[in-house]
Amino acid sequence: MAEFTMELSDEQKEVRDWLHGFAADVIRPAAAEWDEREETPWPVIQEAAKVGIYSLDFYAQQYFDPTGLGIPMAMEELFWGDAGIALSIVGTGLAAVGVLANGTEEQIGTWIPQMYGDASDVKVAAFCSSEPDAGSDVASMRTRAVYDEAKDEWVLNGTKTWATNGGIANVHVVVAVVDPDLGSKGHASFIVPPNTPGLSQGQKFKKHGIRASHTAEVVLDNVRVPGSCLLGGKEKLDARLARAREKAKQGERVKNAAMATFEASRPAVGAMAVGTARAAYEVALEYAQTREQFGRPIIDNQGVAFQLADMRTSIDAARLLVWRASWMAINGKPFTAAEGSMSKLFASETAKKVTAQAIQILGGNGYTREYPVERMHRDSAIYTIFEGTSEIQRLVIARTLAGMPIR
């Protein structure tokens, strides 16, 4: 087990600086254009693939960093560049992690390479879980998967929403209900291969922020996938369902695997928020140092200087919470106080507050699209919503502290 430390190794610093350079030289110059276009920034993703950032190898190296700091460090730097473009680059990782966590070795080897493609033919993947009536309440999921034993196929029907890369993905990973009597314990994940009949893109959302990231509904109309597309295989699923049914008969509470997974992944979202907050703070700091009013830089005014002091303090505190939770997750430390949710909650709220303060410091200029803090403020709103709203994070923390089950 790696000791918790705030000091990055030389190798980690090298990776951080490399990512920062890509964010500064490639992502930032393209940010305003793709925000206005509200389209997937394929040229930027292709550049990321060419240098090795958009790849399973890079994501896996950071994911398995024994200090736990690889992923939050990478997320902070990429989202410092721009949240919308960064989400387009890392969004495939959501689907890839779903396969890595639940799939067999054969499934991992077959499908993950198809999620990324290569530098000459870039592909993306989508993880489809949320539904119009089942966001925070995963137990209300309605998308059904029914097994056709005669053909060894699963038939999927339903509508998914808020799917990053939904409909444009080469590979979709879909969470569906296989046993409605078991609630959230009766869910399973399926691969929907490229060009499968019955899968289509529904509404593409025109969003307030992260507009360079494609978000859409995914409609499943009698989508048939081979039995081999059930992640983990049917034997494993049947055994898991049998255990859940037995525990339900005995009145035992069954651990909600989905909630546990979300808790472990939330620090990564916190790191995204830290990156956006840091970017806005740096713009505001530079502006305050160079903008003069009444014959002196505005940072000489306590009203501005104290805001910047609070902004920097909150950012550093958020990073500390994110790094602590990330270290705990990789080293198997239980989140006895919902530390994953703590990190996501505080970092998300910090991003919203810091970006708003940055606009205030820039005054009228901050309210225009000539300066990036306006976009950063719009982007920051998503952090308190996806991967569990701030209200859900507070509920998780409170129930954990009270010793109550997280539903």
Cα gap 80→275, rounded to integer Å? 4
Strands 199-204 and 215-226: antiparallel
Q: Out of 217, 339, 349, 387, pick the active-site residue.
A: 387
3-state secondary structure of 181: helix
Element (H, E) at 224: strand 215-226
Closest C-alpha to 171, from 130, 133, 225 = 225
SS (H, E, C) 107-145: HHHHHHHHHHEECCEECCEEEECCECCECCCHHHCCCEE
Length of the chain: 407
Cα gap 149→219, rounded to integer Å? 24
Cα gap 318→269, rounded to integer Å? 11
* Residue 384, CA atoms < 13 Å, CB-side half-sphere: 14
Instruction: Kindly tell me the sign of the dihedral angle through the C-alpha atoms of 339, 341, 342, 347.
Output: positive
Cα gap 98→191, rounded to integer Å? 10
Cα gap 400→303, rounded to integer Å? 39
Instruction: Kindly tell me the sign of the dihedral angle through the C-alpha atoms of 145, 148, 149, 154.
Output: negative
| DSSP string over 276-336 | HHHHHHHHHHHHHHH-EETTEEGGGSHHHHHHHHHHHHHHHHHHHHHHHHHHHHHTT---T
Closest C-alpha to 167, from 209, 133, 125, 131 = 125
Cα gap 17→80, rounded to integer Å? 12
Radius of gyration of the chain (CA): 22
- Amino acid (one-letter) located at 73: M
Query: Would residue 7 show up in a list of annotated catalytic residues for this protein?
Result: no
Active-site residues, by number, are: 387
